[in-house]
A and B are shown apart, each in its own frame.
Chain A
Amino acid sequence: MPTRERGDIGAEFGRVLRRGALIALALLCVGLFALWRADSPRIERLRMALVDRATPAIEVTAKPIATLSALAADFEGIGKVREQNRLLRAEIERLRIWREAAQQLERENAQLRALNNLRLAPRIGFVAGEVIADSASPFAQSALLNIGAADGVVDGAAAVDGEGLVGRVVGVGARAARVLLLTDFNSRVPVKVLPSGRRAILTGENTDTPRLAFLEAAAGVAPGDLIVTSGDGGVFPPDLAVGRVAVVSEHGARAQVAADYERLEFVRVLLYRPATRIDTPGGLIAPATPPAETPELGAAGARTDG
């Protein structure tokens, strides 16, 4: 029958179309994996484009779960303690901001006293955001923030909580940003161990205690020593608290990060501009390299100069 034949042809065409789409999709997955493996920035842009659209839904879902988690943690005397806890946390956050501002000013003061050639002081502003998601995968250690390019967040910026360095921004959307935690395999941060001043690279290994790779010499480094960012490379500001030395052995040294990853709620992303050395008059008139495309400080409402 002609009608039946037409139906069969239609069904067959549909099947071929579905099979073609499936093969194309599977190949797309393979291609995306290859791009991910090659560390292509396209993947991060694709990720952030999707996350940008999903941010409101992620926030809506994350809030009740975060609340339930907090309730479970504060099981005893939920009513009063939870409210007090919330107020105290907000107060502590405010005080920490002031403490950091004071420490920054102190450091700046010390640097200026030791100044022997003209240098424009580095400017550190910050924008605070809430952690709305984590990586949801044992293959990565990252967190998603509800602040993005619209708030002035730029790729590579340092993220800190009240205790110390949390990680580095690796993806920026309009309203969301992804922070690679210090414990992730791909995290590498130049650090300095105090008081010895030994330099190393803090290397994430998906464990709670990242390795201090390329430590200049283990001598003079002991458990409990303070680890701060060295500022080498100019990506991170120097002297940000990172953690403490946890173990020193013949296999190397490991660090205990200061950031509270167990209860990571609020994070500040630093808007850091490295110090500019003025060593030639020409540099004042026409810089040799074009300035990086960073949004102007003061453009975002939530941002504060520290």
Chain B
Amino acid sequence: MAEAAPRPLRLAHMAALVGLGALAILLSLAPLDARASATPSPDLLFCVAAFLALRRPAATPAILVLLLGLARDLAGGGPVGLGALTLWISIEWLKSRRDRIVRSVWSELLAVAAIAFLAPLAQLVILTLSFANSPPLTTLAAGGLATLVAYGAVALVMRFGLRIRGVPLEAMRLLGRPIR
């Protein structure tokens, strides 16, 4: 399978995923408001991984994404393993539809919004099926909205602050290489 970027660059992007992912986990743990009614923290790890998955898919290998998700689940207080699995499935879904999603900012935001709201919903369904208590839908919707807003900020920082750009789809097609 051909690679989209040279190996050192790909490794640098993977390092960016690990570094920024760890930072995202630490930032989301910061204690701001412990009330149950407070707006839930945005899923910053998903924002970072999604941005990279859409621009540098080879830099977001499933193993790395799962490990980061697991670290996030363990460091926080939520269901262990469930967050990691939903994060992995979300990122793989984004990667599989990348060529359709990155056509415009709106399609990207729509795809991110769909996952930001559906991933917690999937977790809620699994928790309900396993007879575990779960928060009300309104709380999850607020969290999804926070994630969507945070994605915009994260994308701006990564695009213009860290200068991480996407691999142009047309260029990849002209080169005859599969998009990875």
Contact = CB atoms under 8 A, between A and B. Distances in A.
Interface in B1-48: 22-23, 25-38, 40-41
Given A139-B123, A139-B134, A262-B33, A47 B85 contact: no
B76 A36 contact: no
B30 A62 contact: yes
A183 B130 CA distance: 21
Contact of A47 (B61, B74, B82, B132): B74
Interface stretch (B63-71, B99-107, B157-165, B168-176): B63-71
B135 A61 contact: no
B115 to A, nearest CB: 16
A28 interface: yes
Contacts, number: 162
Q: Most chain-A CB neighbours within 10 Å: which of B76, B88, B136?
A: B76
Contacts of A51: 74-75
Interface of B is mostly: helix
B135 A54 contact: no
Interface in A8-62: 18, 21-22, 25-26, 28-33, 35-37, 43, 46-47, 50-51, 54, 57-58, 61-62
Contacts of B84: 29
Given A206-B135, A264-B34, A138 B80 contact: no
A137 B34 CA distance: 11
Interface stretch (A127-135, A217-225, A282-290): A127-135
A33 B82 contact: yes
Nearest to B76: A136
Interface of A: 18, 21-22, 25-26, 28-33, 35-37, 43, 46-47, 50-51, 54, 57-58, 61-62, 65-66, 69, 131-144, 178, 180-181, 183, 185-186, 205-208, 261-262, 264
Given A31-B81, A36-B81, A137-B83, 8 more contacts: A26-B85, A35-B80, A50-B71, A66-B31, A131-B31, A131-B34, A134-B41, A136-B29
26 contacts: A22-B66, A25-B66, A26-B85, A29-B84, A33-B80, A33-B85, A50-B71, A51-B74, A58-B26, A58-B75, A134-B31, A135-B76, A135-B77, A135-B78, A136-B78, A137-B76, A138-B78, A140-B76, A141-B34, A141-B77, A178-B77, A180-B77, A181-B34, A206-B133, A208-B37, A262-B33
Interface of B: 22-23, 25-38, 40-41, 61-63, 66-67, 69-85, 88, 120, 123, 127, 130, 132-136, 139-140, 143
